[in-house]
Structure 1
Amino acid sequence: MTAGAHLLRLAALLAVARGLQLDTAFVLSQPTHGLSAAGKAACLRGNIQVTASANNTKLALQSPAGQPDLTQTTVDMATAGVHYAALVGGGPTHVTGTFQLYAELCVPADPVAARKVQTLQFLNHGGTLDHTYWDFAPGYSYVDAAAAAGYATFNYDRLGYGLSDHPDPNQVVQAALQREMAHQMVGVLREATIGGFRIKNVVGVGHSAGSALIMAIVGKYPADLDALILTGISTSIEGIMVAQVAFNLIPAALDPSGRFNGLDKGYLTQGAVAQDFQFPFYRYPDFDPTIFRKQFDTRQTTVFGELLTFGGVIAPQPAYTGPVDVVLGQQDYIFCQANCSYPTNQAQTFVDALFPASQGKSTFLQANSGHLIAQHYTARDGFAHSLHFLKRNRL
């Protein structure tokens, strides 16, 4: 393709993005238009206001005064015989508010394909990540892969992450409120007309903590989502605490980059050594060092408020009958201690145990991959599997 032809194609794709409209109760402030990482999707980006209420858990937990305080909390959480979540958990506390969230709506850049979209995928990132996990770089973008297969995606930063609001990290940013906010957004999207077409199906797609949230949604609202794609999660939790220690968490406000200056010290991120990121997230040498460095340099925050309360909203879902796909990196340390085939396929164990009534179960162990399956060389294999799962279930 000549330079002139390339510029003409780029102009045409941007025209699709500028023409993208979201006919819903959402009002996007400061909207922008652009393309996904490899230009397969035209995207509308901006901030939305979401009002929600939830019965959070009153946590006997304060933001750390500094690094020694946080390090001791990490030790306390890893102490033998201590169930830390129960130790600091109290009764319910009602939380309500209106919060600003950053969101991206993307449709196939091909106008003909965009008009045929019937299924939207509701994407949810993991801890210390943000919306960029799903659209990271050419070849490492689930948004691109989904658009090429004819799907729309709704991708956002959860409360307390990325470009979204950062309220109290202990008492407000918890699983119950995240679930109610997600439920509000799914409800709006189910009634949406996007670029002139009506959404018929909404599929929940999560990674790690984002998968836990997707499960929490259908646990309370089973009719919200027509199918689930859960990645980076299993019933094997033995590696979680070791991984958390390996993270070498620091108050994000103390990160030398200065990216998190001004945040409450209850917002945490991995330490400033790249190995703190590699151990729990990546399998060497099965990743591009440039991608690894970009992910490390753009890492985000997490909070104990969310991490300590997900256990209260996740449980087996015997009432959910929709299709469920579970994808794990074969060498995921956090949820498999680096061997997701031991003692059996952990993805299959997970889907059978938590979704016994699901019609259309599917699993995939992505070869040569750690926890961040979207940032390994084999990322496209995982993408292709999940998109085939949707096609097979007529979604």
Structure 2
Amino acid sequence: MFKSVALVAFATAVAARKCHDLTIPISISARNAVFDLPALVSELDVTNFFLDFVRPGVNTTDKYLTGYKTVSGHYNIAATYCQPDHGPGETLQILTHGVGFDRSYWDYPYDHYNYSYVAEAVDEHGFSTFTWDRLGVGASSKGNPINEIQQFLEVAALTELSTLLRKGSVKGINAKFSKFVHAGHSFGSAITYNFVNANPTFSDAAILTGFSQNPNFLAGFALGGNFKPVKEVPCQAAKYPAGYITVPSSTGVNIQFFAPHDFDPKLLTYATENGQAAAPGEILTIGAGTGVVNAFKGHLLIVTGNEDVPFCGGNCSDTTTIQGTFPDLISFSKPFFPHASSFKASVIPGGGHGLNLGYSHKLAYNSIFDFLKSSL
């Protein structure tokens, strides 16, 4: 849709790192699902959709699926690149956010960036980072929320961005990197899972946060959010076209992302006021490809808060649903990575689904950077 690259540099008050914003044009295609689902424009539409989505014995994706079609397009991706003040790091981390957020999830501005993963990665450990607004979200190009903005096309976007970054072809990033780490959160972890499966030797390490391969608990996330049409939520209505859906209240955001006693109530308010919408096509394809054995050959870490609702039902240590075959629900993923150079599962005590935003975020960061120190 756009043919030029816009680069907007901004001064950052954070010591030891330099960041600038990018707008990156990409041309991509993917084999998307075709869903016979009318646009979700009323609250009743959205409510009925989620009641269908969580109904036991009903595969809602299959219910609406009529086939597959190649979707192609030209899109603009909003991104931010950061590096240490002294110059680019040897390793680039490519970070993909989940539902409800944009790329600021990784460099959260609340409380003077106290909850910034990027600050920790760049300032304390010397990495360069690349964060991006997923296709269809934030400042990136939007699209049809049912048959265009799906996990498949977003994986294609991550693949194209990663290829451009490896080649050194992104205008505004004057650096070449010898190592790459892909990390995701929640839906961003599902996208990362599919990327490393299709490109098993691209990344030296991959990190999946807010993730498990136990599908039994998504109902809590889906219903707890009390989703509404985005046009009925004033703080987001102007940002998205009709047909997108979003969480309208702090109660919904709390249930979905924050564990009891692990968060600043003012941060919850901030997260609610600055939340982002989702496409129903993303919801219908959220688990696509994540139940298959992964071909990834690099080092793999999964780190999830013990009280994560969508992936652990609020208790990753309760192994009833996996018949006690592994010590926790995160370790259950180990057989899915038979080719990985190493596998580590980390459960963060007291942590919720929005791992970066809890008081326990430092425990999560320690787990991640200890893993990277031993793996790279």
Q: Confirm whether residue 235 of structure 1 aligns to residue 213 of structure 2.
A: yes
Contact in 1 for aligned 2:197/2:294 (Cα 8 Å) = no
Distance 1:318 1:129, change over 3 A: closer
1:383 aligns with 365
Shift of the alpha carbon at 1:318? Answer: 4.4
Q: Confirm whether residue 88 of structure 1 aligns to residue 64 of structure 2.
A: yes
2:103 aligns with 131
Unaligned ranges ≥5, structure 2: 320-326
Q: Confirm whether residue 33 of structure 1 aligns to residue 10 of structure 2.
A: yes
Distance 1:378 1:312, change over 3 A: closer
Q: CA RMSD in A?
A: 1.8
User: Which one is further off, 204-213 or 308-317?
Assistant: 308-317
Say which one has the larger Rg: 1
2-structure distance, mates of 1:364, 1:173: 31
Within a 5 Å distance, the mapping from 1:314-393 to structure 2 comes to: 314-343=290-319, 344-350=327-333, 352-393=334-375
Per-residue CA shift, 1:293-329, capped at 9, x if unaligned? 1111101011120121233333434422210011000
Report the secondary structure of 2:188's partner residue: helix
Q: Confirm whether residue 165 of structure 1 aligns to residue 135 of structure 2.
A: no
2:225 aligns with 247
Within a 5 Å distance, the mapping from 1:273-292 to structure 2 comes to: 273-292=249-268
Q: Which amino acid aligns with 1:121?
A: Q
Contact in 1 for aligned 2:20/2:81 (Cα 8 Å) = yes
Distance 1:187 1:33, change over 3 A: same
| 1:260 aligned to which of 230, 233, 237 | 237
| 1:155 aligned to which of 118, 125, 131 | 131
1-structure distance, mates of 2:210, 2:217: 13
Report the count of equivalent residues.
361
1:190 aligns with 166
Shift of the alpha carbon at 1:181? Answer: 1.2
Q: Which amino acid aligns with 1:118?
A: E
Output the TM-score relative to the length of structure 1: 0.87
User: Which one is further off, 248-257 or 209-218?
Assistant: 248-257
Contact in 2 for aligned 1:254/1:261 (Cα 8 Å) = no
2:187 aligns with 209
Q: Which amino acid aligns with 1:31?
A: V
Unaligned ranges ≥5, structure 1: 1-25
Shift of the alpha carbon at 1:254? Answer: 1.1
Contact in 1 for aligned 2:244/2:278 (Cα 8 Å) = yes
Identity fraction in percent: 27
Report the secondary structure of 2:362's partner residue: helix
Shift of the alpha carbon at 1:32? Answer: 2.0
Within a 5 Å distance, the mapping from 1:57-96 to structure 2 comes to: 57-96=33-72
1-structure distance, mates of 2:78, 2:173: 20
Distance 1:50 1:197, change over 3 A: closer
Per-residue CA shift, 1:205-227, capped at 9, x if unaligned? 00000000001112222233221
Distance 1:179 1:195, change over 3 A: closer
Per-residue CA shift, 1:76-96, capped at 9, x if unaligned? 222232110111112111111
2-structure distance, mates of 1:185, 1:262: 23
